[in-house]
């Protein structure tokens, strides 16, 4: 049995274990894909990936042509990355190290014609919230409009005409220097068009994020961009179906789920939740997880009976993309930095709404009324008792 960090990729393990015919059947039955639908990567891009030791993969989601509407083809890209230097180094060096490695991955995305690119949760820092220490980690918090991560990415957005989603630790100096877990959306002209703050803050395992920031106060914004209506459901929000639902109600066509989650906790859920959300809401979902094992200078505990430790488990990567019909790409590696690209036609969202009618049959009025009752203090659950019958 491979340990949490030894298995390089679930999909590679399956690919290597099956014959070509069996693999086609696996893809058809499990992933809903009639073919591998791989898109060939340009030689120079592939070389850049090899030289800088990251994986690159691209897949097509073939979609029926319509008579009236023209296809709305978009290339989306997601980046998973490990940290670059150890967590005891100065903050500026840690951030710069990540910038240096991510720069190459963004260049590759541009070379492959990516239109919308999303990075992982808190991409420009280690996921240090496990420690509960305020220093030095709060120093990573930065302005959404002109902090180092935004300034770094704005240049690429403008240079390559790309929309970039940058999930960061935000410092809001207008509102009491408060800290938030925020995704910043930069448009193809390099302008920040808005941000979304993480709605659900975990209280599980070593995810001690509630020491640093509150639940977000930005609702469920959908950003109407040149490349479609996009939204961001940050990490732990993927366990909350109503969070996914609201982005759909607001018209999202692609929902990104930048995450940081570890083996032993959530890996058996990973392939299900974002995929299910795509099906339930008739939109594309892009699940992105960071990669690598992060070790911190001081020991920490989380009151869960585990002895004090310095390691935050293994972030297992495995980023993947799902279409509204539930078909999905294979996942990226469990251990390596990577860029996953999908060529999608946004018209598929409405085609699937017409086919399955989930939006038409979802009975929002019924649930709104029931939920309204359920949140009242004097609510009596609708249970029919068998006692005395
Ligand atoms: N970053 C984050 O919210 N992680 C919580 C753990 C999980 O959702 O798997």
What are the structural domain ranges in the chain?
10-374
Instruction: Check residue 237 and give left, alpha or beta (phi > 0: left; psi -120 to 50: alpha).
Output: alpha
Nearest CA residue ID for atom 1, ligand 1? 260
| Cα 67 to ligand 1 centre (Å) | 43
Best residue among 213, 236, 270, 277 to mutate for probing ligand 1, ranked by most atoms within 8 Å of CB: 236
Does 84 score more than 50 pLDDT?
yes
Q: Which of 10-24, 140-154, 268-282 has the lowest mean pLDDT?
A: 10-24
Both structure tokens of 249: 């109600």
Q: CA nearest 253: which of 282, 219, 286? A: 282
Give catalytic residue positions: 121, 198, 235
Nearest CA residue ID for atom 9, ligand 1? 261
Q: How far is CA 285 from CA 200, 280, 324, 346, in A?
A: 18, 11, 8, 12
Does 373 score more than 70 pLDDT?
yes
pLDDT of 2 reads 39
| Cα 144 to ligand 1 centre (Å) | 22
**What is the band of 35 on the pLDDT scale with cuts at 50, 70, 90?**
confident
The class that CATH gives domain 10-374 is alpha beta
Q: CA nearest 163: which of 92, 106, 97, 115? A: 115
| Cα 160 to ligand 1 centre (Å) | 31
Q: CA nearest 126: which of 381, 362, 312? A: 312
Counting atoms of ligand 1 from 1, which one is nearest the CA of 238?
8
Best residue among 120, 259, 271, 287 to mutate for probing ligand 1, ranked by most atoms within 8 Å of CB: 259
pLDDT of 3 reads 45
Mean pLDDT computed over 202-223: 97
Mean pLDDT computed over 62-80: 98
What tens digit of pLDDT does each residue of 130-158 get? 999 999 999 999 999 999 999 999 999 99
Q: Who wins on pLDDT, 363 or 7?
A: 363
What tens digit of pLDDT does each residue of 159-180 get? 999 999 999 999 999 999 999 9
**What is the band of 370 on the pLDDT scale with cuts at 50, 70, 90?**
very high
Counting atoms of ligand 1 from 1, which one is nearest the CA of 121?
1
- pTM across the whole model: 0.97
| Cα 261 to ligand 1 centre (Å) | 5
User: Ligand 1: residues whose CB is within 6 Å?
Assistant: 121, 202, 204, 207, 235-236, 259-261, 265-266
- Give dist(CA 144, CA 195) in Å, integer: 8
| Cα 25 to ligand 1 centre (Å) | 33
pLDDT of 34 reads 84
Order across the sheet with 163-172: list the strands: 55-60, 338-345, 73-80, 116-118, 163-172, 178-186, 192-197
- What is the dihedral angle through the alpha carbons of 162, 167, 173, 176, rounded to the nearest 10 degrees? 150
| Cα 389 to ligand 1 centre (Å) | 45
What tens digit of pLDDT does each residue of 308-319 get? 999 999 999 999
What tens digit of pLDDT does each residue of 88-97 get? 999 999 999 9
Counting atoms of ligand 1 from 1, which one is nearest the CA of 266?
9
Nearest CA residue ID for atom 8, ligand 1? 236
Counting atoms of ligand 1 from 1, which one is nearest the CA of 129?
1
pLDDT of 389 reads 81
Mean pLDDT computed over 283-299: 98
What tens digit of pLDDT does each residue of 94-112 get? 999 999 999 999 999 999 9
Does 1 score more than 60 pLDDT?
no
**Residue 110, burial from CB neighbour count under 10 angstroms (0-12, 13-18, 19+):** middle
């Amino acid at each position: 049995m491979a340990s949490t960090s030894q298995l390089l990729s679930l999909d590679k393990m399956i690919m290597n274990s099956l014959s070509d015919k069996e693999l086609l059947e696996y893809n058809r039955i499990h992933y809903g894909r009639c073919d591998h639908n791989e898109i060939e990567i340009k030689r120079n891009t592939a070389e850049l990936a090899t030289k800088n030791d990251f994986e690159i993969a691209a897949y097509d989601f073939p979609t029926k042509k319509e008579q009236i509407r023209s296809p709305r083809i978009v290339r989306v890209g997601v980046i998973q990355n490990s940290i670059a230097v150890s967590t005891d180094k100065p903050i500026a060096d840690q951030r710069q190290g990540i910038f240096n490695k991510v720069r190459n991955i963004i260049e590759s995305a541009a070379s492959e014609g990516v239109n919308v690119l999303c990075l992982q949760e808190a991409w420009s820092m280690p996921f240090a919230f496990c420690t509960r220490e305020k220093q030095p980690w709060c120093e990573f918090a930065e302005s959404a409009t002109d902090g180092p991560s935004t300034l770094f990415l704005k240049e690429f957005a403008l240079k390559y005409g790309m929309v970039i989603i940058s999930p960061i630790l935000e410092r809001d100096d207008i509102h009491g220097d408060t800290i938030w877990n925020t995704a910043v959306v930069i448009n193809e002209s390099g302008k920040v068009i808005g941000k979304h703050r993480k709605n659900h803050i975990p209280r599980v395992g070593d995810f001690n994020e509630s020491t640093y920031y509150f639940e977000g106060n930005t609702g469920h914004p959908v950003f109407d961009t040149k490349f479609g209506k996009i939204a961001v459901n940050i990490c732990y929000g993927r366990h909350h179906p109503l969070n996914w639902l609201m982005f759909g109600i607001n018209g999202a066509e692609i929902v990104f789920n930048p995450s940081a989650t570890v083996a032993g906790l959530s890996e058996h859920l990973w392939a299900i939740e974002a995929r299910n959300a795509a099906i339930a809401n008739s939109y594309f979902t892009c699940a992105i997880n960071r990669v690598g094992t992060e070790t911190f200078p001081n020991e920490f505990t989380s009151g869960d009976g585990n002895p004090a430790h310095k390691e935050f488990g293994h972030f297992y990567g495995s980023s993947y993309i799902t279409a509204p019909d539930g078909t999905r790409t294979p996942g990226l590696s469990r251990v390596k930095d990577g860029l996953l690209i999908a060529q999608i036609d946004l018209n598929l969202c409405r085609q699937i709404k017409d086919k399955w009618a989930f939006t038409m049959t979802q009975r929002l009025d019924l649930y709104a009324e029931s939920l309204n009752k359920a949140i009242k203090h004097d609510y009596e659950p609708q249970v029919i008792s068998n006692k005395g019958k």
